Amino acid sequence: MDKDIAIQVSDLTKMYKLYNKNSDRLKDALGLLKGNGYTEHLALNHVNLTIKKGETIGIIGTNGSGKSTILKIITGVLSPTSGSVEVDGHISALLELGAGFNMEYNGIDNIFLNGMMIGFSEEEIKARMDSILEFADIGDYVYQPVKTYSSGMFVRLAFAVAINIDPEILIVDEALSVGDVFFQAKCYHKFEEFKKQGKTILFVSHDLSTISRYCDRAVLLNQGVILGEGTPKKMIDIYKQVLVGQYPLPENDFKSLLEDEDIREAAGKKADGNKEATAEKKEQEAANTTENSDLLEYGNNAAKITEFYATDSKGLKTNSVIKGTEFTIHMKVKFLKDINAPIFAFTIKNVMGIEITGTNSMVEKAFLEPVHAGDEKDITFTQRMLLQGGEYLVSFGVTGFEQDDFVVYHRLYDALNITVVSDKNTVGYVDMESTVNVSDAKKD
């Protein structure tokens, strides 16, 4: 294995036997099972993954896609059915809540137990004890049996142990969602420290904004297959298609879909229904610098977003908005089929792909009516620009519910660029327009 590689996963497969009855499991273990008493389930199917030293990698995917399984195999909790995993570096892992802890022991005992399981001596654990207890911040509960802990206290102690033993590779499986907001902030600050120190971080999360913010690369797993790997923004966009059944999943060919052209072709054709744009359309796209010619689009073709743009407070088309002024986002939609109650939406993301804000007609209770094939609607969203100065991307969508199923009729991701012009930027993404007053303190 190359010296720059921290984790090398090669042709990894994990197969589970799903037994028809519990007694069949026992019979199979004893070699007495006759006939087909179980079905085979591939949790991982010929997975290949390379993680370089110093990378922060996020794994995303639907429930049952194999995310936790691959982490458990990398950490040695599970054995693969076939394939191999090579690891270069000292791993510290925080997987399922309770893994590696003895519920009858108190917190101190479990710190020593976990530390020794990872490979540290008693002296080394003692040297780190103050840091662990300070980070966990659970007070005298550390002297009580772990079985009396709340889930939040449990994860605080487990994570404190995991990160304070100075690992070269940190692996976390969704555990941070249990802690309170202050503890989560402390953990992510530690992530930042680890990244600066060149440590490798691999974690699973359903929080897509966390994936966008902290990860150098994201891996999208689906039904035990790596559907794609690349920038967090790109993988999150594909994941959203998977969630609504609008991404063509591979049947027999399990190679990762990594190329931009592959993604665009799989996502759907351009608005004119033809991949080969006409010369007239090319000229139009070149003239309109606010639109992204490589936007990602998909849907079931029941509706089509035919036009989108932004206007300033004077009603003039623009892609530059002055902070603090009113602006309007426009979209025009043509309906190709009858729809009971379409929902019109827009979302604003930063260049890292983190969703900053957005709304839709259902949330705003602005339109809850049926439409018919051939109808066209002009939709406007008017608001004041409170975002900090910088570059942003706007996505559009027409969706709805059909017999309780969420359906995407048409979506355009990162379709429009908006530049916010500001002479004053505060902390974070949004300016709360605070009023500051300083006066002499009253004397007692």
**Confidence at residue 290, expressed as pLDDT on a 0 to 100 scale:** 56
Whether residues 312 and 232 fall in one domain: no
Question: In this structure, is residue 70 part of a structural domain?
Answer: yes
Amino acid at 96: E
260-267 and 232-243 helices, crossing angle to 10°: 20
Question: In this structure, is residue 277 part of a structural domain?
Answer: no
Whether residues 235 and 149 fall in one domain: yes
**Confidence at residue 176, expressed as pLDDT on a 0 to 100 scale:** 66
Whether residues 136 and 37 fall in one domain: yes
Amino acid at 350: N
Whether residues 47 and 178 fall in one domain: yes
Whether residues 185 and 327 fall in one domain: no
Question: In this structure, is residue 160 part of a structural domain?
Answer: yes
Expressed as residue numbers, the domain containing 89 is 5-243
Question: In this structure, is residue 403 part of a structural domain?
Answer: yes
Whether residues 72 and 172 fall in one domain: yes
What CATH number corresponds to the domain at position 338? 2.70.50.60
Question: In this structure, is residue 13 part of a structural domain?
Answer: yes
Whether residues 226 and 314 fall in one domain: no
Question: In this structure, is residue 86 part of a structural domain?
Answer: yes
In a 13 Å sphere around the CA of 127, the CA atoms on its Cβ side amount to 7
What is the length of the chain? 444
Whether residues 74 and 186 fall in one domain: yes
Identify the sign of the CA torsion 49, 53, 59, 64.
positive
Walk along the chain (444 residues) in steps of 10 and give the mean pLDDT of each run.
92 90 82 80 94 95 91 92 94 73 91 83 90 91 92 85 85 73 79 88 87 91 93 90 76 41 38 40 41 79 96 92 95 97 95 91 93 97 95 95 93 93 88 92 83
**Confidence at residue 121, expressed as pLDDT on a 0 to 100 scale:** 85
Whether residues 171 and 318 fall in one domain: no
Whether residues 232 and 374 fall in one domain: no
**Confidence at residue 283, expressed as pLDDT on a 0 to 100 scale:** 41
What CATH number corresponds to the domain at position 34? 3.40.50.300
Question: In this structure, is residue 85 part of a structural domain?
Answer: yes
Give the global pTM: 0.74
Whether residues 72 and 170 fall in one domain: yes
> How far is 157 from 111, CA to CA, in rounded Å?
8
Domain count, the chain: 2
**Confidence at residue 178, expressed as pLDDT on a 0 to 100 scale:** 62
